[in-house]
Structure 1
Amino acid sequence: MWVLLAGLCTVDQVQRVAEIPAPGEKVRSLSVDVAAGGPATNAAVTVAALGAGATLLTVAGAHPLAALARADLETCGVDLVDLDPALPDPPAISAIVVRDSDGERTVVSRNAHASSRSVLSMRSLHAQLPRSEDEMPGCVLLDGHHPEVALEVARWARERKVPVVLDAGSWKPVFEDLLPLVDIAACSSLYRGDDPREYGVPVVITTAGPDPVRWSTPEESGETPVPVTQARDTLGAGDVWHGAFAYAVSRGTGDVPRWIAFANEVAAERVRHEGPRSWTTAVAKMGEGLP
């Protein structure tokens, strides 16, 4: 069992502080971490932590900073497939500050830049996608970054009847073409864009941090509560949720409410732990609780 993920890979510098500084203020951090980040990347780390195979299609490039992301993902058990390994530009970098008292975070980042080397990326992509039915992933997760890659993977998955989950944290122009290829759209409460149902998406989910997760299918709708927990670090919690959800979908059993409940539990476990990777050991056996 494995999950194919396509999207953004960043280099995250995470500073933990007693209080988030005001403009012009200097503060000393309590700790510093450097790790790979980005929605699809953090989701891939989650899938691997739960014990499934995780293959991440992204663009990292040849810049020395990209080696930091590669090393971190190798340690986490994620198979990184770089679609443009000779790209000289630095990867996207995120500067993150996490407040120690409640895990609230502030993020300054840039999304993946538009690459003029799309032909190379597409050739690399098609060379990496499985061809045999026995090799098919149980689920595909897209975050909408690297739009051409997202569209190609979605088309490939649709032709092979592999479930496609979209992490719709915020509206992106590619969604107009991508949403008709999506089986499940998982939106954040900050999502401001067209209703995925208008594009024929059968399952739409809306997460809202500690509040219940709302969902609808063609047959029914409802809410699934989120476990009450003491948050120590909320960085990447939504990405972890998407990774856990994709893992549950890839199992091929259960239903939407059960998949959501499982993702809620994994995300709640993530926020109980400080740092970008300390939580992975804690969730290692959680996948065994799925039917």
Structure 2
Amino acid sequence: MADDRTPPPPSLVCCGLTTLDVVQVVDAVPGPDQKVVARDLHVAFGGPAANAAATAVALGVRTTLVTALGDGPVADLVRAGLRDAGVEVVDLLAGRPADPPVSTVLVTASTGQRAVASTNATGRPDDLGPAARAALDVLSGATALLVDGHHLAAAVVLAAEAGRQGVPVLLDGGSWKPGLASLLAHVDVAVLSGDFRLPGAADDGPDRLLEAVAALGPSVVARSAGGGAVRVRLGARYDEVVPPPLAPGELVDTLGAGDVLHGAMGAALARGRDPLTALREAVPVATESCRHAGALGWVPSSARH
């Protein structure tokens, strides 16, 4: 008898950091004791997991963000922005007085490059594991889980449960964080930034790094390289995904491009794509985001919530 069961609708869960981003466009990043006048100012939510969640929603995938906001004026502002972006939120600090971190971002107008100062999750509560265990039903119906390495205790709880349920786990590996090995043990696909380094490991080239990270758990490991090719390790073989080229003058802003890459890949995995296909679908979306200001400037106004 043929199996006429329909697959579940794509549903992505993202777990990680949410910030309030204060973005100013400048002609040049100021030096010591220097003050500059910004060309533009934009205030919105940010953070790897939050931007990834909004990206997946923009690509048509229902997405829930598990994060730590708390009850405070900045948290209320961020929560409203996520709601407007169509992201469902599970707040691990609900009912507790707190606010998410604030990131200051300076974007250089002529190059689109950015400088960021942020506390990230520094100073945030590190007892979020019990709250995550109480919220495990967020994985009900999920077809992929994305973690960014922040709120590590919560991420490990969700990733371990996702593994038990057969839900693929994607890591946004922006940088090494203490304890990350405990999360990597539950990760299926890790996509690293060009800045990612293993502590104490020699810099012997990208393939050795991919091999070393794969030894910690993931079956697929990739590493982005800005506008260059994304190197991918799939089991014992290697491949590359080359981004579409940007013509001179097309680069507007690289802010959040990595987050967009991970969100688009998470959306593709949630739709049942294999990791290499998902990466091939995600890379052009990240490139397109660099043609626009802000992490979500590429999203058509008609698709915004």
TM over 0.5: yes
**Among 8, 26, 29, which residue is 1:17 paired with?**
26
State the Cα distance separating 1:270 from its structure 2 match: 0.7
Alignment RMSD (CA, Å): 2.0
Partner of 1:248: 268
- Tell me if 1:173 matches 2:193: no
Report how many residues are paired. Answer: 280
2:171 and 2:60 map into 1 onto residues whose CA distance is: 21
Structure 2 contact 106–114 (Cα < 8 Å) conserved: yes
- Tell me if 1:183 matches 2:188: yes
* CA offsets 1:120-171 (integer angstroms, 9 cap, x no match): x444423433388xx4211100011011101100111011010001111111
Q: Alignment partner of 2:84: what SS?
A: helix
Q: Alignment partner of 2:292: what SS?
A: coil
- Greater mean alpha carbon deviation, residues 152-161 or residues 257-266: 257-266
- Tell me if 1:125 matches 2:144: no
Structure 2 contact 173–196 (Cα < 8 Å) conserved: yes
Structure 2 contact 126–153 (Cα < 8 Å) conserved: no
2:186 and 2:38 map into 1 onto residues whose CA distance is: 44
**Among 241, 260, 277, which residue is 1:258 paired with?**
277
Partner of 1:198: 215
The residue identity in structure 2 corresponding to 1:17 is: V
* CA offsets 1:95-127 (integer angstroms, 9 cap, x no match): 000111121100000121355572xx4444234
Partner of 1:224: 241
* CA offsets 1:234-275 (integer angstroms, 9 cap, x no match): 10100110000111111113x333211211110011111113
Alignment of 1:1-291 (within 5 A): 1-116=10-125, 118=127, 121-130=128-137, 135-193=140-198, 195-229=212-246, 230-253=250-273, 255-281=274-300
Give percent identity, aligned residues only.
39
1:67 and 1:232 map into 2 onto residues whose CA distance is: 30
Structure 2 contact 289–295 (Cα < 8 Å) conserved: no
Q: Alignment partner of 2:137: what SS?
A: coil
* CA offsets 1:160-201 (integer angstroms, 9 cap, x no match): 010001111111122121111110111111111162122132
Structure 1 contact 269–282 (Cα < 8 Å) conserved: no
Structure 2 contact 194–225 (Cα < 8 Å) conserved: yes
Q: Alignment partner of 2:215: what SS?
A: helix
Partner of 1:288: none
Q: Which runs of 5+ in 1 are unaligned?
A: 286-291
1:212 and 1:108 map into 2 onto residues whose CA distance is: 27
Q: Do the aligned partners of residues 147 and 106 (structure 1) sit closer, same or farther apart at CA in structure 2, a change above 3 Å counting?
A: same
